[in-house]
Structures are given as structure tokens and as C-alpha cells.
Amino acid sequence: MKYLAEYRDGTMARGIAAQIRRTATRRWVLMEVCGGQTHTIVKQGLDELLGDSVEMIHGPGCPVCVTPLEQIDKALALAARPDVIFTSFGDMLRVPGSECDLLQIRARGGTVRIVYSPLDALALAARNPEREVVFFAVGFETTAPANAMAVWRARELGIRNFSVLVSHVTVPPAMVALLSDPANRVQGFLAAGHVCTVMGWKEYEPIAAGFKVPIVVTGFEPLDILEGIHLAVRQLEEGRHEVENQYARAVTREGTVPARTLVERVFQLVDRKWRGIGEIPASGLALREEFAEFDAERRFRLGAITVEEPVECRAGAVLRGQLKPHQCPAFGTRCTPEHPLGAPMVSSEGACAAYYNYGRFRTAQPAEAP
């Protein structure tokens, strides 16, 4: 496949991995922020190529995993209403709320549809004027522009039966929170290429300088990730801490200005709770006041709710990189993709699900040191 096969070449991958092993004089601890990168690493077995040179910690960049339980419960409440067509990206459907998930709501008679773009949800609203269409607007800066566009278009077209349940989060505040944690072990980051395609990397420069950590904007294919790791290891070996751009074919320092501008016009920064991590100041996006009529929480008067996570789920420690998924006592026994205790076991980008689906054979080998 053009533009993909080139980045999956086995010979080149082994060549870069050998370079990384030669460059590293000690074992470095890096975090890939994005769940898409975690997915590639575990699915392709990239970590096997690295030997002892690098330990990869899987970061909190899975939008499904960090969407707080409260928001999932609100989604379930909306989806159960007979007047609502609830629309969502596919992988939110199996995420467990306090009592059930969206698939079960659908089985009980709720109208829940998978869409591939928020604009499809808007079109659904235009075709079904007698129903309320709600879109579950989750994700990082990557999905924010399309969601902002859907709200913008809804206002422009005067589509009043469309609203969004927003649970957007942003990456840089989460990195700051991780680095400020006294238990932090991360020495360098692979920043999420798609997030930076939208946002650029200017906002990462003060983080790299302030915490003295290398940050490499990295793509999602095996060669991207290996090259990103190599650049980060080289910085660490040379005592540098800069923002470097591995994903030059998609990312510029400024990002995609029209997309960023639209996000800024529709959304504003708010404090946001992250599932498993807790509240991080100014880490979320919410609709600005002038778009309040498209806010599903206001339209349907969903009050504030507080719910408790299952005590046994160690998702917080996994998402902070303090615990490898298979080190969790419930992993693979009381917590499986069929019966997940927490979101990281559900999403295809979740670290626990990636370990379970792709890694069980390896982790069944003599256990690696925790």
C-alpha cells in the first residue's frame, strides 16, 4: 500500500533498532503519549527489537480510556431516551459505564448509531427533524476540529435538533501533570503526530525546556516510531532536551492554522477530569457560551454526577505509566476484553487491551522484571 508499506519495511526497522541499541549507553525510559502508537508498538512487537536499550511506557493518549465515567454515564442516559438518536465513533460503544455500555442500551431499545464523522451525525439530524441527534464528541486535539466544524455548521444551517456531549481533552497539560508527579520515571516523550498535525509543536517547547525532557513529534508507523525513539535516545545521550519533529511529512511548527482557529472559536479551555488520573487544570475543551445551545448537557439538563471507579481497576497507574498492564493483578483474569473492569481493556488503543490481544503469548514467557 503506497505511503504505508514504505514505513513498515522490516529490514529498515531492524536497521534503526540496531542504531538505537548502539546509541544507548544505558537503559532509557520513554513514553509514547498516544494510544495509536501503543497499538503499533504492541501489535508489531517493536519493543522486542529494542532489547535493553529502551523501556517504553504507554501514556494516557487513548481518548476512550481517559473519558471520565461520569461522561459515559451521561451518554448512556441520553442514549436511553426515546427521543434521542445517539451517535458515536465505534470504539466508545463497548466502554463500560457504571452499569452497562452503549451496546446494551441499544439492545434494550435505545437508538445508538456508529458514525465515521460528526458531520454524518449532523446530516442524520437534518434527515430526522423529529428526533434529537446527539454526537459524543470525545478525543484529543485530533478530533476537535471536525467536532468544532459540526457545531459551526449546525449553527450556520440552523439545525436545532443537533447537539454534542463534549469530553475533549488536550495533551500538553497531561504531560505537565505526569512530569510534575514525584513518581514520574519518564525521561523523554514521543509526542502524538496527529495531535501535532493540528496544533503544531510550539506549546511543547516550554515543557521540553522547563522539565529538561526531549520531546519528539512522532508518526504512527513502525519506522516512524523507531526513528522517533532514536531521535529521543540521541538527545538523552547528548544531554539535549529539545522538541524535534520526526513526522515532518505531516507536521509543521504552526500546525494546521484553519483547524486550530476553528477549534479556538468554538471551544474554550476548561478543567477536565481524566478517567484514572483525576482532574487536570485547563486540560479540556468545552463549548463556548455562544454555542451553548448545542451543548447536550445543557439541552437535556444533565446535572453533575459523581461515580466511583471499580476499586480493583488500576487504570490510573497504567495510564500514568507506573504499572505495565500485565502487572495489574486483575489483568487477564478478572479483567478481559469480554469483561473489562476499566476502559484501557476496551479500546483498541487502550494499553491493557493491546497487551491482552497481542501480547499474551509474550507475557506468558518467563516474566520480565517489574
Partner 1 sequence: MTRTAEFVNGLTCPAPAPPTERIQLGHGSGGKLSAALLKDRFLPHLTNPVLRQLGDAAVVPVFTGEIAISTDTFVVNPVEFPGGNIGSLAVHGTLNDVAMMGAVPRFLSAGFVLEEGLEFAVLDRVIGAMAAAALAAGVPLVTGDTKVVERGKADGLYINTTGIGTLDGPCRPAPHRAANGDAVLVSGPIGAHGMAVMAAREGLGFEAEIESDSATLYPLVARLAGRFGGDVHVLRDPTRGGVASALNEIAAASQCGIVLEEDALPIQGSVAAACEMLGLDPLYVAGEGVMLVILPARHAEAAVADMRSHPLGACAACIGRVVADHPGMVVMRTGIGGTRVVDMLPGDQLPRIC
By CB under 8 A, name the binding residues for partner 1. 1, 4, 8-10, 13-14, 36, 42-49, 63-64, 89-94, 103, 114, 116, 138-140, 142-143, 194, 222, 336-338, 348-349, 356-362, 364
> Which residues partner with 11 through β-bridges?
none
Residue owning grid cell 513526522: 247
| Separation of alpha carbons 115 and 106, rounded Å | 15
Full strand arrangement of the beta sheet holding 243-245: 54-61, 28-34, 188-192, 215-218, 243-245
Q: Minimal distance in Å, beta carbon 226 to partner 1?
A: 8
Q: Which CB sits closer to partner 1, 130 or 338? A: 338
Q: Which CB sits closer to partner 1, 8 or 21? A: 8
Q: Minimal distance in Å, beta carbon 114 to partner 1?
A: 7
| Separation of alpha carbons 344 and 309, rounded Å | 13
Residues 6+ apart with CB under 8 A from 153: 119, 122, 159
Q: Which CB sits closer to partner 1, 143 or 245? A: 143
Q: Which CB sits closer to partner 1, 178 or 354? A: 354
Task: List phi, psi (to 5°) of 125.
Answer: -65, -40
Q: Which CB sits closer to partner 1, 43 or 265? A: 43
Q: Minimal distance in Å, beta carbon 1 to partner 1?
A: 5
Q: Minimal distance in Å, beta carbon 110 to partner 1?
A: 17
| Separation of alpha carbons 247 and 17, rounded Å | 18
Q: Which CB sits closer to partner 1, 307 or 364? A: 364
Q: Minimal distance in Å, beta carbon 166 to partner 1?
A: 14
Contact 30, 321 (CB under 8 A): no
Q: Which CB sits closer to partner 1, 64 or 236? A: 64
Residues 6+ apart with CB under 8 A from 227: 16, 218, 246
> Which residues partner with 331 through β-bridges?
335
Residue type, 287: L
Q: Which CB sits closer to partner 1, 136 or 189? A: 136
Q: Minimal distance in Å, beta carbon 306 to partner 1?
A: 25
Residues 6+ apart with CB under 8 A from 192: 33, 34, 36, 37, 61, 140, 142, 171, 218
Residue burial 289-326, b: 16+ Cβ < 10 Å; e: rest: eebeebbbbebbebeeeeeebbeebbbbbbbbbbbbbb
Q: Minimal distance in Å, beta carbon 90 to partner 1?
A: 3
Q: Minimal distance in Å, beta carbon 68 to partner 1?
A: 16
3-state class of 137 per DSSP?
A: strand
